[in-house]
Amino acid sequence: MPELPEVETIVRDLNEADLIGQTIAETRVLWAKTLAFPDLRTFAAKLKGRVIETMARRGKYIVFSLSGGYTVLIHLRMTGRLSLDRDWPRADAHARMAWRVRRKKNPAESLVLCFRDPRKFGRVWLLDSGEPSPLDKLGVEPLSAALTVSCLSRALGARGAAVKTLLLDQTIIAGLGNIYVDEALWHAGLHPLRPGRSLKPDDIRRLRNAIRHVLQRALRAGGTSLGTGRGNFYGLRGQPGRHLARLKVYRRTSQPCPRCATPVERIVVAQRGTHLCPRCQEGRKAGS
DNA sequence: ACTTTACCCTGTAAGC
DNA sequence: TGCTTACAGGGTAAAG
């Protein structure tokens, strides 16, 4: 389940590959619903001949800026993966979309960017300049200087919903998912069910620091791979993330809290499995 | 305007 | 062993 550190890892991999300045020669759609705005007739035609100018990340979106003002967005959702291959996917039940890139120096050499997604939740957008974009709705980038204590205080302080629910809301902070929300709340010593408006200035300050700490650590480890299954996270070159061993509570139900050895508890918040230390994150439910 | 629920999907693990 | 069922979850749309 790629969240900010995983998506950022892939974008960094992409930027290390020789893609900037190269031309999209051909697009193949293997699962039509992957297109967020189904316009199959024009999709491949609009992309043909476009030059890749930049590749970046916003929230959990991968953003390709192409010549002519076009933007391609890729959201991996739960199980999406990208890879760079020598040829089109063959007999690959999970391949959903692929692009052949023509290299300036060696046009004969084929390079194919392939999007795979067993669960079919991932989506791809093609946007003309000025078109409404899913990026418009995104909140603050948590690793940017914009995530200040006062910014977080304004966003959370007026809301009655559980702090975990608010942190998962991409219109408030862009890029956090289930793993890093649980981890950040543990680091901050905050119960996931605490209402946003119950948070005091010091709670907000700890939360802000915890979010950045957790994301930076995960990023340095190349993301989190949970270890089982094909839906697992892998980078562009198929490398797993190394952050799993550093998780404090996520998917560690009944195992000792690394801080106080109390068994980690699992509850459900916002329809998501939620992991916490009932002692370190205790008694803060009611607020005040 | 806000909050909650249903839905999209299929690999994996648990249950019989 | 083989089949069936529950579960995982990001985001959006519909419902409350």
Compute φ and ψ for A165, nearest 5 degrees. -60, -40
The bases of strand B with some atom under 7 A from any protein CB are: 2-13
pLDDT at residue A27, as a whole number = 95
pLDDT tens profile A68-83: 999 999 999 988 999 9
Answer whether A205's CB lies under 8 Å from A147's CB. Answer: no
pLDDT tens profile A146-192: 999 999 998 898 888 899 999 999 999 999 999 999 999 999 999 99
Question: For residues A73 and A68, what is the distance between their CA atoms, to the nearest angstrom?
Answer: 15
pLDDT tens profile A167-177: 999 999 999 99
Catalytic residues of A: 2-3, 60, 272
Can you give the distance from the CA of residue A93 to the C1' of nucleotide C2 in angstroms?
Answer: 24
Query: CB of residue A121 closer than 7 A to nucleic acid strand B?
Result: yes
Query: CB of residue A58 closer than 7 A to nucleic acid strand C?
Result: no
Give percent above pLDDT 70 in chain A.
96
Answer whether A64's CB lies under 8 Å from A47's CB. Answer: no
The per-residue pLDDT of chain A, averaged, comes to 89
Can you give the distance from the CA of residue A106 to the C1' of nucleotide C11 in angstroms?
Answer: 40
Query: C-alpha distances in angstroms, A112 versus A23, A65, A97?
Result: 11, 18, 10
Can you give the distance from the CA of residue A140 to the C1' of nucleotide C11 in angstroms?
Answer: 17
Answer whether A50's CB lies under 8 Å from A66's CB. Answer: yes
Closest nucleotide over all strands to A120 (CA to C1'): B9
Neighbour tally for A242: CB within 10 Å: 14
Question: For residues A37 and A20, what is the distance between their CA atoms, to the nearest angstrom?
Answer: 26
Answer whether A115's CB lies under 8 Å from A98's CB. Answer: yes
Query: CB of residue A224 closer than 7 A to nucleic acid strand C?
Result: no
- Give the pLDDT band of residue A231 (cuts 50, 70, 90): low
Would the pLDDT of A228 be above 90? no
pTM: 0.94
Can you give the distance from the CA of residue A158 to the C1' of nucleotide B15 in angstroms?
Answer: 45
Would the pLDDT of A84 be above 80? yes
